[in-house]
Structure 1
Amino acid sequence: MTSPFDKPTIESRLSVRGVKWHRDAADIIPLWLADQDYPLCPELKQALRDAVEEEFTVYGSDLAAREAMKAKIKRYNNIDVPVDQIMLTQGVIPGMWLASKHACNPGDEMIVTDPMYFPFFTVADVTQVRKVYWKLKLDEVYKFDIDRLNDLITPKTKLINVCNPHNPAGRVMTKEELKGIADIAVDNKIYVMVDELWEDVLNDGKKHISLASLNPEIADLTLTSWGFSKTWSVPGLQAGYLACTNKTMFESIQNIGAGILRGTNNFSKAIAPVICSGKADYWVRDMNKYLQEVRDLVVKRLNEMGNFTIPHLEGTYLMFPKFNYGLNSDELDKVLMKEAKVSLNKGNVFGPLGDGHMRILTATSKGIMNEALDRIEKIIPTLEKMRA
């Protein structure tokens, strides 16, 4: 029996309306956007059908969704948070903005990793907060060096941003790394924003640990944000949620967002009980198994065809290889687009240490991935000549 994750073809994906496959010309294979090529889980599809049949397009309460989220946060994340301290959001990015507005004033400092998911940088810029880079080094396999973090702390440090599992480094943080962050935050009374959007997408038996689950002291300083888009292939629904155990902090972010943030749509609310109940967890297990096979395929083929340094992908479906050809990310992007007809995400948008890297989406079928890799292999001589 063919796996549903192995079914997507270039032709079938071009028939789906969406920015990933239609931003560029039809002969480009797009592996740049963190948007799966996989079909919807049947249980989610049925929940959406039911919502349409019910004509659930009126103003709708989000209480049932928040109750389901509360139970999931307790069961999976080991955080006990009141249902009234959970907020539905349009993805995880609003949580970044709310955390910055709550914790920081213009001129303060926030910690961001380098590399890191670039909306964290955007939030710092628009809230007029100075970014301080906590360097994650490729030759250290992207270890979260706690001593290095501690050296960055000043009286102006008001927020530490954490992405776990990490986009784009692909790391799943260890309990020791998380404890190191928690100790620094508690000792210095620094707030922490944690993006746990990728919490379900794990390889090699890795286990996700939520920072706020470590102890009440760090929970009191932490705002955690989650979402459905990456695990469940529903980015168009803009389904996110955040929570914090500190009531005063939650009321502050509610006030900051009042009149600006209005939660999310009814279709997101309709799928929340299905996802948060665990009834469809079989889909995630099967997907992760397939994703690991695709990851191993990409690693094998890249190592055979050329000169790449490939960080081990512990979580997410975003591989972040360094192309060892002496070219920056902009130069690599031009060659890949023009010569290989493959679109990847430029590594330098994720921070200075991302230059020379390209981020590759692996959440596609082996057929599409092999075609993309065939195209990349054909331009290796061109990359060699450019290096010379």
Structure 2
Amino acid sequence: MVLSRVAREIQASATLAITAKAKQLAAEGKDVIGFGAGEPDFDTPENIKNAAIKAIKNGFTKYTPTSGVPKLKEAICEKLFNDNHLKYASSQILVSAGAKQSICNIALVLCDTGDEAIIPSPYWVSYPEMVTLAGAKPVFLETTDKDSFKITKESLAKVITPKSKLLFLNSPSNPTGMVYTEEELREIVMFAVEKGLYVISDEIYEKILYDGAAHFSPAAINDDCYNKVVTVNGFSKVYSMTGWRLGYAAGPEKIIKAATNIQDHTTSGANSITQLAGLEALRGSQESVTVMVKEFDRRRKYIVERLNTIKGISCLLPQGAFYAFPNVSRLCENLSLKGSFDLVSLLLEKAHIAFVPGAPFGADAHIRISYATSMENIEKGMDRFEKFLNT
């Protein structure tokens, strides 16, 4: 059997083996403490759930327009104007089944065979596969904890070629938790646009910020950037709606129309009930967001402080999202391990702690630790981690 190019080139998630092993141990009765979740451990707020129940009872269960329910698109336009200083018409909004689909739609619209898409590393694991799906080539721009995992105008200039078409930006970042300042984004994005690149700005963790960090949407820089940047956001992280599958893209009308055409023939419109829940999320009380971020902040400080007391580990204090991304290269060396997969496998097998290796994110010297779990689990997990290393 000869499979298609896409089937041959797309890689399975490199973390699945670890996830499967963790589930196997749990099924065997082992007390596995998981730090892998890329989703808040908080429940979806009651007002949002009630809006969904009301939609069901009112019979709002039919197909919707592919690009989204008009009143949700209007609410998204209001949100982008009020929060991000971006003025869009409803025709510039595409609602999708999660921000992941939004990003994939745009990658398929902007990338063609032979194009190059620049992806700062560490990166969210799906970016390279989406570029490959579009027939383009992912080009990785390396960063380290020494430069706070941030690219610069100068580092970007070194990887731009005549084939460069697209730049991915993700702030706050998964997996690093770093946040670009407005000044940093202005310099990077203006330079990218000047060189003819389009930009996907993945802003899914926009409101999960700490220590006075401020979010800035690069599409708001000037008209040139407005016409070259596609802003992607969603409801999963900020409103704890991961399973609801709802995201959106905002950008130039020509790009959004082309992305809508693609979605016409993949999933069509997002879930009708979920869209009305999303409407309530945007227009209802935001108190749950404040409460959640405050708790994440408490966990963040605790877990980073604990990590930095462990010999062989150094960890930057993240400014956003809900991940710590410690450097474990010296620890691996001390334990005669080859890299992050070996370390994560060892900790899972011997200490029953489930971390995520950094290698699939393009950073084998690191592991990703989600603090979207209870403080009780964090304390227990860090105690277990230290005890294992000491013995």
With the shorter chain as reference, the TM-score category is 0.7 to 0.9
| Alignment gaps of 5+ in structure 2 | 1-18
Instruction: Check 1:198–1:306 CA distance in 2 against 1; reply closer, same or farther (3 A cut).
Output: same
Q: Which ranges of 4 or more aligned residues in structure 1 deviate by more than 4 Å?
A: 19-22
Cα separation, 1, equivalents of 2:64 and 2:227: 31
Instruction: Check 1:191–1:290 CA distance in 2 against 1; reply closer, same or farther (3 A cut).
Output: same
In structure 1, the residue matched to 2:13 is none
8 Å Cα contact 1:20/1:33 also seen in 2: no
In structure 2, the residue matched to 1:372 is 381
Cα separation, 2, equivalents of 1:237 and 1:322: 33
Cα separation, 2, equivalents of 1:363 and 1:247: 36
- Aligned residue among 46, 49, 54 for 2:58: 54
Work out whether 1:242 is the aligned partner of 2:246. Answer: no
Cα separation, 2, equivalents of 1:338 and 1:370: 19
Work out whether 1:151 is the aligned partner of 2:158. Answer: yes
Instruction: Check 1:209–1:20 CA distance in 2 against 1; reply closer, same or farther (3 A cut).
Output: farther
Work out whether 1:275 is the aligned partner of 2:281. Answer: yes
Cα separation, 1, equivalents of 2:207 and 2:378: 22
8 Å Cα contact 1:164/1:195 also seen in 2: yes
Encode CA deviations 1:236-268: one digit per residue, 9 max, x unaligned. 111111111x22222222233331141311232
Cα separation, 1, equivalents of 2:232 and 2:112: 21
| Alignment gaps of 5+ in structure 1 | 1-18, 383-388
In structure 2, the residue matched to 1:34 is 38
Mean Cα deviation higher: 24-33 or 354-363: 24-33
- SS of equivalent residue, structure 1 residue 231: coil
Work out whether 1:139 is the aligned partner of 2:146. Answer: yes
Cα separation, 1, equivalents of 2:285 and 2:357: 34
Cα separation, 2, equivalents of 1:276 and 1:234: 12
Instruction: Check 1:183–1:92 CA distance in 2 against 1; reply closer, same or farther (3 A cut).
Output: same
Instruction: Check 1:45–1:348 CA distance in 2 against 1; reply closer, same or farther (3 A cut).
Output: same
- Aligned residue among 270, 292, 301 for 2:297: 292
In structure 2, the residue matched to 1:161 is 168
Work out whether 1:343 is the aligned partner of 2:349. Answer: no
Pairing 1:1-388 to 2, within 5 Å after superposition: 23-26=23-26, 27-60=31-64, 62-244=69-251, 246-277=252-283, 279-323=284-328, 324-325=330-331, 326=333, 327=337, 328-351=339-362, 354-381=363-390
8 Å Cα contact 1:310/1:321 also seen in 2: yes
8 Å Cα contact 1:159/1:192 also seen in 2: yes
Cα separation, 1, equivalents of 2:378 and 2:52: 30
Alpha-carbon RMSD across the aligned residues, in angstroms, is 1.9
Shift of 1:207: 1.0
In structure 1, the residue matched to 2:3 is none
8 Å Cα contact 1:28/1:341 also seen in 2: yes
Letter in 1 for 2:198: Y
Instruction: Check 1:23–1:268 CA distance in 2 against 1; reply closer, same or farther (3 A cut).
Output: farther
Letter in 2 for 1:338: E
In structure 2, the residue matched to 1:5 is none
| TM-score normalized by the length of structure 2 | 0.87
% of aligned pairs identical?
28
Count of residues paired in the alignment: 360
- SS of equivalent residue, structure 1 residue 378: helix
Letter in 1 for 2:385: I
Letter in 2 for 1:378: K
